Amino acid sequence: MDWRRIIATAILAVSTAVSAPAQQNLCDSEASFGRSDGTVFGRYCGVCHTISGKWNRIVRAPLGGLFERKQLVTGQPVNEETVRELIAKGGPSMMPGFQYTLTAGQINELVQFLKAARCPEQAPGSQQGR
Amino acid sequence: MSFRFVAFVWWSSTTLLALPGFGAGTITGSVKDAGGTTLTGVFVSAQHTGATFTTTVYSDEAGRYRFPELTAGTYTVTAHAGGFQPVRRANVAVRDAALPMDFTLQAETRPEELLKQARASEWLSSLPGTDEQKMSLGKNCGSCHHNLYHLQTVRFTKEDWVKVISAMEKIDVIGEIREPRPAYYMPWRHGTKDQIAEFLAKVQGPDSPLPNVKFFPRASGKATQAVITEYRVPRSNAVPHDVQLDSQGNAWYNDFKTDYLGKINPKTGEIKEYRLPSKPGFHPGSSNMFVGDDDTIWVNQRIAGTLTRFDPKTEKVVGRWERVGGYDRFDSKSGIAYGTNGQLDVKTGMVTRYEYKADTDGYGTAVDSRGFAFRGGIADSDIKLLNPETGDVINLLTPTPDSGPRRIQLDGDAYLWFGEWFGGKIGRVDIRSRKITEYSPSVPFAAFYEAGTDPKNHHGWAFDWRSDRLMRVDPTTGVVTEYPMPTRDVESRRTAVDTSTNPPTVWIHGAGNGTIIRVQAPL
């Protein structure tokens, strides 16, 4: 498996807004590295990640459809608990842990956002969403 | 040519009310602290309900403030300054008279609120550690394009800070990976990667206390007479990269992260935006832009490598070229665009490249009316004078070592102003004598991306990213006048001066906070 895909599978983020219009806006604005919006994802995660995978970031694979994947970069299965732990503790290579930056509530919001995060072209089951 | 033309107008009720015949008034009063002491240099900001812009004045040496003429209507008025709790008055009705409004500001003592008020260099100054350690953050972490504010919002262990810095090394200013390394990659300054991570873990680690923020002196003296208008770009994601003026006094801006081009009409407050063509598969953001002598707008989409010419009269793209390089001025009579490295004939699309006898590496570019070219040597700490005819290159080293001249601007053919990104000074070159003079701000850790010029009064203007202060230099007296901006995280890369007004109107842009800013400052 492509290492970038593995890393991407590991990382996360996003904010509280999960409505379809909000996601459309987020995916449209991903070109704005580090300043994509006022969401937790935009502020803390968008530096390295995108939902769309459209831009040539540190992690190139998209985060859209994360929970449809089989495993994280850590080798663990993808579920709320493992994703929450990865955000808090960081990944095995480049991702730092956000346990001292984000509150438990913010991390939970990110997990919930990632469960739904998907760009319009990333229909469930599509290749790009994987 | 496939050109997506999407224009929308930010046409507020305030815009209509700004037209003659709708009445006008003002607001005036005093600003004091809780002990009754008058306060100088406090921002007092007024925003008309639904307006595209906010008007700000400072309290003067007597603690008094007065707005210029305000369109009649309902306003929100806020008095604010570092170290004090802001006081906000909503639903303020302005009619045909001067409305009195006094403010008493209570001291802000909550560390987390004080941190939100602190400008980047105030934060740096308040941190524990040596100046070398603090400069290592300013000149490495802040060397690309963010202004250190993000550092204040994250906390990591040293090991994780190393990860973060390692990631930052690989990407360029728009966040994309560049192999083998980003353009304008610079060597570490004032510390190694490991030392920087260690310092960050000390000041932004898991248990680091919030700093005891110390604020710099506010605006004083003549500076308090300035009027600042902040136009909010009508997109939540706006990152204006430049601001330039056409012959009618309209302010044009591009966007570093998207394909937008915008125009502000300061007479009406109208903001109109257009979308430039994008190149599929390439980042749409643009960097350098300039206005031709025929008022056409020239925009360089940096990653896509395209140059676009936009005609404001027809509101259409009238020229688009790929991989032709960057240009700084356009002469409509000859139909030639002039750059530091060549010429572009807009009718034929032919590019004539210059050949120089020596290295011309630099960041900022400028071309004078004779075709001589200039570059700000950010890596070499020099200003390069280039003669396209002879190929000669003259290197003028700055008096300050490792000064990092970045963007530059000509005052006619006689003087050149430049901002020192690493040296923290504003410089001026007397082109004939080749003498460089540097001017220092009052605040530490300054970083000037560029310096502009008022060619009528021969003053220099430059913006310090770290303190959010616009500065005017009078080279005849050497006096530097500082104008703190009301909203933090401005990050202006361009200063454009309209000398048709009295006093001259100075425009900068807020890449960090999504604004275009007009400053009217009496001489």
Residues of chain B with confidence (pLDDT) below 70: 1-22, 145, 183-185
Contacts of B157 in chain A (CB under 8 A): 97, 100
Which pLDDT score, from 0 to 100, does residue B14 have? 37
Closest by Cβ to B171, choosing from A58, A90, A96: A58
> Angle at Cα B452 formed by Cα B268 and Cα B45, nearest 5°?
45
Q: Are B430 and B418 in contact (CB under 8 A)?
A: no
Q: Are B84 and B107 in contact (CB under 8 A)?
A: yes
Buried b (16+ CB within 10 A) or exposed e, B428-452: bbebeeeebbbbbbebbbbbbbbbb
In angstroms, the CA B69 to CA B96 distance is 10
CB contact under 8 A, A58 and B167: yes
Give which of B318, B325, B317 is closest to B360, Cα–Cα. B325
Q: Which residues pair with B368 in a beta bridge?
A: none
Contacts 24+ apart (CB under 8 A), B302-311: B303/B174, B303/B176, B304/B278, B304/B279, B305/B279, B306/B277, B306/B279, B307/B344, B308/B276, B308/B277, B309/B346, B310/B261, B310/B274, B310/B276
* Torsion (CA) A104, A107, A112, A117 in degrees, nearest 10: 170
Q: How confident is the model at residue A17 (pLDDT cuts 50, 70, 90)?
A: very low
Q: How confident is the model at residue A26 (pLDDT cuts 50, 70, 90)?
A: low
Q: Which residues pair with B66 in a beta bridge?
A: B28
- Which tens digits make up the pLDDT trace of B157-212? 999 999 999 988 888 877 788 777 776 667 889 999 999 999 999 999 999 999 99
Which pLDDT score, from 0 to 100, does residue A40 have? 87
Burial of A103: CB neighbours in 10 Å, binned 0-12, 13-18, 19+: exposed
Shortest alpha-carbon distance between residue A13 and chain B (Å): 15
CB contact under 8 A, A90 and B166: no
Which pLDDT score, from 0 to 100, does residue B412 have? 97
CB contact under 8 A, B177 and A94: no
Contacts of B146 in chain A (CB under 8 A): 34
Complex-level ipTM = 0.85
Q: Give the DSSP H or E segment for B161.
A: helix B158-170
In angstroms, the CA A10 to CA B458 distance is 56
Say what the pTM is. 0.91
Q: Is B194 left (phi over 0), alpha (psi -120 to 50) or beta?
A: alpha
Which pLDDT score, from 0 to 100, does residue A6 have? 39
Contacts of A35 (CB under 8 A, 6+ apart): A42, A46, B237, B239, B257
CB contact under 8 A, A32 and B237: yes
In angstroms, the CA B312 to CA B327 distance is 19
Which pLDDT score, from 0 to 100, does residue B455 have? 96
- In percent, the amount of chain A with pLDDT more than 70 equals 65
Which pLDDT score, from 0 to 100, does residue B21 have? 37
> Angle at Cα B36 formed by Cα B33 and Cα B41, nearest 5°?
45
CB contact under 8 A, A90 and B171: no
* Torsion (CA) A28, A30, A31, A37 in degrees, nearest 10: 100
Best of B144, B165, B166, B237 to mutate (most A CBs within 10 Å, chain A): B237
In angstroms, the CA B162 to CA B149 distance is 19
- Which tens digits make up the pLDDT trace of B63-82? 999 999 999 999 999 999 99
Q: Are B191 and A50 in contact (CB under 8 A)?
A: no
Q: Are A92 and A74 in contact (CB under 8 A)?
A: yes
Looking at residue B171, what DSSP letter applies?
B
- Coil, strand or helix: which one is B45? strand
Starting at the edge strand found earlier in the chain, the sheet holding B373-377 runs B365-367, B373-377, B382-386, B393-397
Contacts of B260 (CB under 8 A, 6+ apart): B235, B238, B254, B273, B274, B275, B276
Strands in B185-293 per DSSP E: 227-232, 240-245, 251-255, 260-265, 270-275, 289-291
In angstroms, the CA B449 to CA B494 distance is 8
Which pLDDT score, from 0 to 100, does residue B206 have? 98
Q: Are B106 and B88 in contact (CB under 8 A)?
A: no
Q: Are A67 and A114 in contact (CB under 8 A)?
A: yes
Strands B24-33 and B103-105 come out as parallel
Which pLDDT score, from 0 to 100, does residue B170 have? 85
Contacts of A98 in chain B (CB under 8 A): 154
In angstroms, the CA B232 to CA B387 distance is 41
Tokens for B131? 């100046």
A13 interface with B at CB cutoff 8 Å:
no
Contacts of A29 in chain B (CB under 8 A): 236-237
Q: Are A124 and A66 in contact (CB under 8 A)?
A: no
Best of A4, A86, A89, A100 to mutate (most B CBs within 10 Å, chain B): A100
Q: Which residues pair with B459 in a beta bridge?
A: B454
Which pLDDT score, from 0 to 100, does residue B214 have? 94
The CA–CA distances, whole Å, from B321 to A13, B283, B297, B344, B347 equal 39, 16, 14, 10, 11
- Coil, strand or helix: which one is B80? strand
